[in-house]
């Protein structure tokens, strides 16, 4: 009976995707020479630390094998993972402005901070100075055995952060032999978008057309060496990988060669133009500047003041659409069996990654209100006369101005981001008795990272070069007058003298001591023939984060930063005790092949927020050997991380719209009055040409943990030979969500409700009422107010058949989203659902998304694979973006691959992703994440070619 039970467990696990076949030893059971009995090897699968032979986890787990990763052709792990329907794009290489230089994972779109990432079942450290989430750049693709994606909690097993689920990278630490992989990839696209080319023609902008040839290329190298030693008692694996990704700028694609307006109907851009724009006003009799009475001027070719309407800068082409990067990883995995009771092991991993984000040239960005002398030598007589005619100014007077001048003479800004991560695990495992075993380990992880932001305008130097605020350029060493009031008067030399560099350095550290015992009791329930299994363990974890900003960052002296970037120092620790029980209830009766209940509990005591329990209850019901019903309930907790707790409060930018701006605001005069707009200002507030507004953001040391409840219910079946499937319903409800409320929602809700919870956070610039010029801003620091509710159904199915002497295998994985609700301030704000809508700042979450794969294996030297990646339509939208007035249509991408075995040592893989060269759906400036697209989610750069050669000895 035991053999049948083991066989069924293995077969079901393989068939239904609970775990991959790689989770099981090739020798699942072997003869015991002394007794003649069969010795069964216990296994551990993602979702439980219990090791036994007669169970699979009741929580659904989607497995991606090493072969699937290789066939995808992606040189970045995040690209492969983001193609799964369960994940949304988070930090990717397709970001420029605001890039973190890391790659993070976002299960269900609940945020990367709510996705726990593991390596061999042990958590990863924070990724760097800009994120507290794990950076998967440090994971070598060549050594991955499989990736388990467990959706539906996991805090009782693995601790905090497993709210949306767990991604576990299982490494091939038993690799044998020597293998070298060399690969390359590149993009290609036909620039033939008539719509945006027409818009650029209207503006006189240049753009690329026709076939781009190969661009955005990459080179990838990996070497792996592994084998046994000392008569098989020990085993070691070492690896080295190198990846170089070349840049690709937005100007290389016509659909991203201009910055679309919020409505998507024209090539917009920034009011910080090549030819400067000015908001000019004069102080009143008391010396106060009233920007309710102003002129918006630019310069004519004779340097006179003329209307600045329509004078915008197309900043798009110079921005990176895909950043260049260079990455090295190396490491080793080793274990040694001294005896059955003491089997030490080690994992050591190192990664160094460098990337540079090119961002459009800096500018003055209407950042400061400069007081300029009427008699300044920077002005000409024509300008002085215009100031006299308009404002009545005369010699000895001053006027006030906000300046919008783009630093095209000095070139693009560049943010060089570097990360060096190190992770080491030292531990031991072994048998305690025939029924019980243990594992204990110490783990240390650290990431050193830095940001060097170069070629940005240095604010104090602008003031000096304008001889403003009482400072005199003539008496300052190295100062060159800023001839911003002279048409094309700024030189490259003077522009260079106005720039500066900001430096940010940081170190994250994680230290873990953990141990557990697992095994079976010598008793069970009277109704079952199997014993009760259990895990008992304890863990101590310490998280430290330190980030040091120089004065330039800390005081926001670079005008292109949108605000200050402060130093951050914080740490916390947590002590935990946990346990699991696996209770076989009954087996071998009508309608119940087997029934098993899993229970789990973890008590966690945080130094910051106190103690909080997590727990789970799950049921595995094998109706027959071919049909299974599974269900689980998980209580998950996520304590606030160091960034959320201890980030200094500072200013920054938020993308969106001020509903009280423009001549025809979307809110009424009464509603805008709630947001601080006077009757005189209503209809006279200018919108930001770049759709960016000021915000005030930061941490909160009094944050309470997030609490989530997850329910799953599923059925798996093998109704006939060569076909199996699983369908799982999941429901996640989270309370006390940590985060800042979207500033645009704050303004909208203030206008509609007048509630002080919103309105007290809106600070408009005196006089102009602006939220982007001067001191205007929306306060959006971290809080615990929100609730989230996510709900959906996952589908997985596999079918294979013999065709023409070979085997055709098909697989589909898909997710049907039912609910993605946000309740930002319960009882005050309106609850909104982000499924199938682009409103409320929602990410474009389709109702249905799937990946369908078909592979034909000839059984000889070649194999072909076709993949259909499908994104359902996102149809609901009530905003002004005419490009998506009817939503975003469904998107389909076709990938084709061919793999060839040249000889016993050599294999070749070639492939094309997005064979039909489909462009990403275009969106206007408000909805775009980069380059008029939702970059990194939909295929962003067109057709993708890849090829690699593997040599194994």
Q: What is the DSSP string of 59-86?
A: S-EEEEEHHHHHHH--SSHHHHHHTSTT
Q: What number of residues does the chain have?
A: 953
8 A C-beta contact, residue 473 and residue 481 = yes
- Judged against a pLDDT cut of 50, whether residue 12 lies above it is answered with no
Q: Is 137 helix (H, G, I), strand (E, B) or coil?
A: helix
8 A C-beta contact, residue 141 and residue 950 = no
Question: What is the DSSP code string of 763-824?
Answer: EPPTTT--SSSTT-EEE---EEEEEEEEEEEEEEEEEEEEETTEEEEEEEEEEEEEEEEEES
709: tokens are 């409840």
How confident is the model at residue 19, as a pLDDT? 32
- Judged against a pLDDT cut of 90, whether residue 452 lies above it is answered with yes
Q: Which helix (H) or strand (E) holds 263?
A: none
How confident is the model at residue 471, as a pLDDT? 64
Name every residue whose Cβ is closer than 8 Å to that of residue 198 and which is 6 or more positions away in sequence: none
Question: What is the DSSP code string of 667-689?
Answer: S-HHHHHHTT--TTTTT-PPPPT
Distance CA 223, CA 236 (A): 14
Question: 16 or 574: whose pLDDT is higher?
Answer: 574
Residues of the chain with CATH 2.40.170.20: 2-6+10-23+44-55+57-255+321-359+416-453+504-646+701-742+780-952
Closest CA to 171 of 150, 145, 148, 147: 145
8 A C-beta contact, residue 736 and residue 663 = no
| 110: DSSP letter | S
Q: Which of 152-161, 357-366, 718-727, 926-935 bottoms out in mean pLDDT, i.e. has the lowest? A: 152-161
How confident is the model at residue 626, as a pLDDT? 92
- The number of angstroms, rounded, from the C-alpha of 689 to the middle of its chain's C-alpha atoms is 27
How confident is the model at residue 59, as a pLDDT? 78
Distance CA 199, CA 191 (A): 14
Q: Position of tokens 């200050």?
A: 564
796: tokens are 């997985």
Closest CA to 628 of 27, 58, 5, 30: 58
How confident is the model at residue 475, as a pLDDT? 83
Q: Which helix (H) or strand (E) holds 188?
A: strand 177-188
How confident is the model at residue 289, as a pLDDT? 77
CA distances from 129 to 330, 568, 651 (A): 22, 9, 17
Confidence of residue 284 (pLDDT cuts 50, 70, 90): confident
8 A C-beta contact, residue 150 and residue 60 = yes
- The number of angstroms, rounded, from the C-alpha of 51 to the middle of its chain's C-alpha atoms is 33
Closest CA to 565 of 39, 7, 81, 100: 100
8 A C-beta contact, residue 416 and residue 452 = yes
Distance CA 545, CA 543 (A): 7
Distance CA 872, CA 891 (A): 7
For residue 928, the cross-strand partners are none
pTM of the full predicted structure?
0.86
Q: What is the mean pLDDT of the chain?
A: 89
Q: Which of 33-42, 48-57, 91-100, 364-373 bottoms out in mean pLDDT, i.e. has the lowest? A: 33-42
8 A C-beta contact, residue 778 and residue 763 = yes
Share of the chain above pLDDT 70, in %: 94
How confident is the model at residue 152, as a pLDDT? 73
pLDDT digits (tens, 9 = 90+) for 464-502: 999 855 567 888 888 899 999 999 999 999 999 999 999
Q: Which helix (H) or strand (E) holds 663?
A: none
Distance CA 252, CA 267 (A): 16
8 A C-beta contact, residue 427 and residue 446 = no
Distance CA 397, CA 12 (A): 85
Q: Which of 74-78, 130-134, 289-293 bottoms out in mean pLDDT, i.e. has the lowest? A: 289-293
Distance CA 467, CA 581 (A): 75
| 546: DSSP letter | E
pLDDT digits (tens, 9 = 90+) for 337-350: 999 999 999 999 99
Name every residue whose Cβ is closer than 8 Å to that of residue 632 and which is 6 or more positions away in sequence: 58, 59, 152, 153, 598, 616, 617, 618, 619, 710, 711, 712
8 A C-beta contact, residue 414 and residue 358 = yes
Closest CA to 367 of 763, 743, 688, 675: 688
Cβ burial of 554 (10 Å; 0-12, 13-18, 19+) is: middle
- Judged against a pLDDT cut of 90, whether residue 441 lies above it is answered with yes
For residue 343, the cross-strand partners are 429
859: tokens are 């059984």
- Judged against a pLDDT cut of 70, whether residue 543 lies above it is answered with yes
Question: 703 or 512: whose pLDDT is higher?
Answer: 512
Q: Which of 282-291, 690-699, 876-885 bottoms out in mean pLDDT, i.e. has the lowest? A: 282-291
404: tokens are 């919008």
Name every residue whose Cβ is closer than 8 Å to that of residue 722 and which is 6 or more positions away in sequence: 799, 800, 801
Give the CA dihedral 557, 559, 563, 569, nearest 10 degrees: -40
Extended strands (E) in 311-435: 320-322, 325-336, 343-359, 370-373, 398-404, 413-431
CA distances from 913 to 71, 186, 726, 776, 871 (A): 10, 11, 27, 46, 15
Q: What CATH architecture is 2-6+10-23+44-55+57-255+321-359+416-453+504-646+701-742+780-952? A: Beta Barrel (2.40)
Name every residue whose Cβ is closer than 8 Å to that of residue 80 and which is 6 or more positions away in sequence: 64, 69, 72, 74, 141
- Average pLDDT of the segment spanning 60-81: 86
Distance CA 295, CA 277 (A): 10
Question: What is the DSSP code string of 830-896?
Answer: PPEE-BTB-GGG---B-SEEEEEEEEEE-SSSEEEEEEEEEE--B-B--SS-GGGTT-BPPEEEEEE
């Amino acid at each position: 009976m035991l053999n049948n039970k083991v066989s069924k467990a293995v077969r079901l696990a393989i068939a239904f995707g609970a775990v991959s076949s790689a989770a099981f030893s090739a020798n699942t059971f072997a003869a015991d020479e002394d007794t003649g009995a069969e010795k069964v090897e216990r296994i551990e699968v993602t979702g439980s630390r219990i090791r036994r032979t007669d169970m699979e986890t009741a929580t659904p787990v989607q497995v991606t094998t090493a072969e699937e990763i290789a066939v995808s052709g992606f040189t970045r792990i995040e690209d492969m993972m983001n193609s799964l329907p369960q994940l949304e794009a988070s930090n990717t290489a397709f970001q420029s402005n605001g890039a973190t230089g890391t790659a993070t994972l976002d299960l269900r779109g609940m945020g990367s901070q709510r996705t726990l990432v593991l390596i061999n079942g042990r958590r990863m450290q924070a990724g760097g100075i800009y994120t507290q989430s794990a950076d998967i750049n440090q994971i070598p693709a060549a050594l991955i055995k499989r990736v388990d994606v467990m959706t539906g909690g996991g805090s009782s097993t693995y601790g905090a952060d497993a709210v949306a689920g767990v991604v576990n990278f299982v490494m091939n630490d038993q690799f044998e032999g020597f293998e070298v992989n060399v690969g390359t990839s590149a993009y290609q696209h036909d620039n033939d978008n008539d719509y945006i080319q027409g818009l650029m023609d209207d503006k006189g902008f240049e753009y690329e057309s026709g076939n781009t040839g190969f661009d955005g290329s990459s080179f990838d190298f990996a070497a792996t060496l592994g084998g046994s030693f000392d008569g098989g008692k020990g085993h070691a694996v070492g690896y080295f990988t190198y990846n170089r990704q070349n840049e690709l700028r937005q100007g290389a694609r016509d659909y991203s060669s201009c910055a679309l307006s919020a409505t998507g109907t024209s090539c917009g851009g920034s009011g910080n133009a090549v030819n400067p724009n000015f908001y000019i006003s004069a102080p009143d009799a008391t010396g106060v500047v009233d920007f309710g009475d102003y002129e918006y001027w630019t310069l004519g070719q004779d340097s006179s003041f003329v209307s600045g309407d329509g004078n915008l800068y197309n900043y798009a082409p110079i921005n990176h659409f895909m950043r260049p990067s260079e990455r090295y990883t190396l490491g080793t995995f080793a274990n040694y069996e001294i005896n059955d009771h003491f089997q030490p092991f080690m994992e050591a991993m190192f990664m160094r990654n460098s990337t540079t984000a090119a961002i459009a040239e800096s500018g003055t960005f209407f950042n400061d209100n400069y007081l300029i002398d009427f008699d300044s030598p920077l002005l000409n007589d024509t300008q002085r006369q215009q100031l006299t005619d308009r404002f009545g100014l005369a010699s000895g007077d001053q006027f006030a101005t906000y300046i919008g001048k783009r630093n095209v003479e000095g070139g693009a800004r560049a943010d060089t981001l570097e990360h060096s991560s190190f992770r080491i695990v030292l531990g031991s495992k072994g048998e305690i008795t025939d029924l019980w075993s243990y594992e204990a380990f110490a783990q240390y992880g650290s990431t050193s990272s830095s940001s060097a932001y170069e070629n940005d305008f240095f604010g104090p130097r602008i003031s000096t070069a304008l001889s403003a605020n009482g400072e005199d350029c003539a008496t300052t060493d190295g100062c060159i007058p800023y001839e911003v009031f002279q048409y094309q008067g700024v030189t490259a030399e003077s522009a260079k003298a106005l720039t500066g560099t900001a430096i940010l350095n940081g170190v994250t550290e994680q230290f873990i001591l953990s141990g557990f015992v697992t095994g079976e009791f010598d008793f069970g329930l009277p109704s079952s023939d199997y014993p009760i299994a259990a895990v008992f363990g304890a863990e101590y974890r310490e998280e430290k984060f330190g980030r040091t900003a120089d004065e330039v960052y800390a005081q926001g002296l670079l005008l292109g930063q949108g605000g200050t970037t402060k130093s951050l120092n914080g740490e916390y620790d947590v002590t935990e005790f946990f346990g699991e029980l696996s209770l076989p209830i009954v087996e071998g009766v009508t309608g119940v092949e087997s029934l098993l209940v899993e229970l789990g509990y973890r008590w966690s005591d945080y130094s910051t927020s106190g103690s909080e329990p997590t727990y789970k209850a799950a049921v595995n019901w094998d109706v027959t050997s071919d049909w299974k019903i599974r269900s689980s309930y998980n209580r998950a907790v996520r304590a606030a991380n160091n960034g959320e707790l201890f980030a200094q409060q500072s200013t920054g930018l938020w993308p969106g719209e001020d509903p009280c701006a423009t001549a025809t605001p979307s809110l009424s005069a009464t509603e805008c009055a709630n947001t601080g707009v006077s009757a005189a200002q209503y209809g006279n507030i200018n919108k930001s040409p770049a759709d960016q507004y000021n915000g005030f953001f930061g941490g909160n040391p009094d944050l309470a943990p997030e609490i989530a409840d997850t329910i799953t219910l599923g059925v798996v079946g093998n109704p006939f030979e060569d076909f199996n499937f699983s369908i799982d319903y999941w429901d996640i409800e989270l309370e006390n969500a940590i985060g800042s409320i979207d500033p645009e929602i704050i303004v909208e809700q203030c206008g509609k409700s007048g509630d002080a919870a919103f309105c007290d956070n809106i600070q408009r610039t005196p006089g102009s009422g602006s939220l982007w010029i001067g001191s205007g801003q929306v306060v959006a620091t971290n809080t615990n107010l929100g609730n989230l509710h996510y709900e959906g159904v996952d589908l997985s199915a596999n079918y294979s058949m013999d065709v023409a002497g070979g085997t055709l295998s098909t697989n589909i994985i898909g997710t049907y989203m039912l609910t993605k609700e946000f309740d930002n301030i319960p009882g005050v704000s309106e609850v909104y659902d982000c499924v199938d809508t682009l409103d409320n700042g929602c990410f474009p979450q389709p109702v249905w998304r799937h990946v369908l794969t078909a592979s034909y294996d000839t059984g000889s030297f070649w194999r072909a694979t076709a993949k259909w990646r499908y994104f359902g339509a996102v149809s609901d939208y009530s905003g002004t973006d005419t490009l998506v007035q009817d939503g975003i249509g469904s998107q389909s991408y076709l990938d084709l691959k061919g793999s060839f075995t040249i000889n016993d040592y050599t294999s070749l893989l070639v492939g094309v992703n997005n064979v039909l060269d489909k462009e990403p759906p275009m969106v206007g400036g408000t909805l775009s994440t980069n380059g008029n697209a939702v970059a990194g989610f939909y295929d962003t750069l067109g057709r993708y070619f890849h090829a690699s050669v593997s040599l194994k000895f």
